[in-house]
Amino acid sequence: MADATAALSARSKVQGFLEAACSRDLDALRKLGSALDEDGKGAAAVAAGVRDANKRTALHFAAREGRTEVCKFLVEQLRLPVDPKDDDGTVTPSAIPC
């Protein structure tokens, strides 16, 4: 039961992280990134590893919603790659007008 609770909590944090990218909430993005950093790898590693079921990153979500300031934070400060592919293998954030 504890494993299921932990998995649900992690999933909720991942969903919150991706929603923060959509809503341009940089404070929530930072807080959730810290909360997800259980291994102490840092915010950049967390942001790069957080993906939805279709393998879309926070950068995919921010670009799709036109959240330029979030895109800038993710790329310039966290150094996320600008062209990670999703599950379809075709959609990259750099292909989405921001």
The tens digit of pLDDT for each residue in 37-61 reads 888 998 888 888 999 999 999 999 9
- What's 73's domain CATH number? 1.25.40.20
The kind and range of the H/E element at 4 are helix 2-23
Confidence at residue 2, expressed as pLDDT on a 0 to 100 scale: 65
Residue 79's contacts (CB-CB under 8 Å, 6 or more residues apart) are 44
CB 93 within 8 A of CB 83: yes
**98 pLDDT more than 60:** no
Mean pLDDT, all residues of the chain:
85
CB 93 within 8 A of CB 63: yes
Percent of the chain residues past pLDDT 70, beyond the cut: 87
Q: 8: which DSSP letter? A: H
User: What mean pLDDT comes out for the span 76-98?
Assistant: 77
Total tally of structural domains belonging to the chain: 1
Domain range for 21 is 2-95
**11 pLDDT more than 70:** yes
Apex CA 49: angle with CA 7 and CA 17, to 5°?
A: 65
Quickly list DSSP for 37-77: -TTS--HHHHHHH---TT---HHHHHHHTT-HHHHHIIIII
